[in-house]
Structure 1
């Protein structure tokens, strides 16, 4: 049996993305976010999550993706504290679909030839669908969310 990796599949706009399940602490329903003055555009604000102040990052803004009309299923994916050097961080996504198990043969690594500024944040492309029908395969962009967060600067490790 081929080795597999578990990822959390989520949606931003019409596109499907994934992140490593080990860095996701929990998924919570959208709640009121308190904006912070003079915060960067991608920092939506803070929430009080069971007594812990959690910074909320709008992943769409951070990745430079267009605004979405979809607001009814938005969720916050709360990340493990070690992702952000001990800080509590959550990311806003349009919807969370499921945890999926991905086999190695479904993963297509990205070549270094891509020059887009987002390519450094893409671990791979996951192909989901029927083996015999290339047209029915869906593509999921597997983001390196840990790298995205660490590149913000304010959450970089002091090591």
Structure 2
């Protein structure tokens, strides 16, 4: 059985995940410098240890409401390969953990929904028999970035 490693994070009250091999590091929120006339999904840029890194607002990219700030947010910095060689980070409300997920805990979504939704599947965590099961939306961040960067 195949095991997949994902980073589990939160936006609003919803849990999401992305492939661990696409995440380079997780950093605390820091001051973001706005970029004039940038698309609304670009929060701005940061200087991360001497590298200029574009910071994207994942809420906007996913078409979610931008909620008022909920405490301290985090930035998931992606590997350059995920964004066509660019240094990119995404803003999330919180990062929970790295999950090791077996194939049988992933529910594939049919293409009628996910072709536009950027969803790779839904991960079931916890225990269904104890009514303690959580659903984690596994997003295809590489496809989101590919589509977004191609549009520009």
Q: Same fold (TM over 0.5)?
A: yes
Deviation at 1:113, TM superposition (A): 2.6
**Aligned pairs, number:** 152
Runs of at least 5 residues in structure 2 that lack an aligned partner in the other structure: none
Across the aligned residues of Structure 1 and Structure 2, the Cα RMSD in angstroms comes to 1.8
Secondary structure of 2:129's counterpart equals coil
Runs of at least 5 residues in structure 1 that lack an aligned partner in the other structure: none
Q: Which position in structure 2 is the counterpart of 1:126?
A: 123
Counterparts of 1:108 and 1:18, CA distance in 2: 13
Deviation at 1:136, TM superposition (A): 2.2
Counterparts of 1:115 and 1:122, CA distance in 2: 5
Deviations 1:15-38 (A, max 9, x none): 000000000000000000000000
The TM-score with structure 2 as length reference comes to 0.93
Structure 1 residue runs of 4 or more that deviate by more than 6 Å after TM superposition:
none
Secondary structure of 2:116's counterpart equals coil
Q: Which position in structure 1 is the counterpart of 2:19?
A: 20
Counterparts of 1:50 and 1:59, CA distance in 2: 22
Q: Which moved more, 1:16-25 or 1:77-86?
A: 77-86
Deviations 1:118-140 (A, max 9, x none): 2xx1000000111534x321000
Aligned counterparts, 1:76-155, within 5 A:
76-114=75-113, 117-118=116-117, 121-133=118-130, 135-154=131-150
- More helix as a share of residues: 2
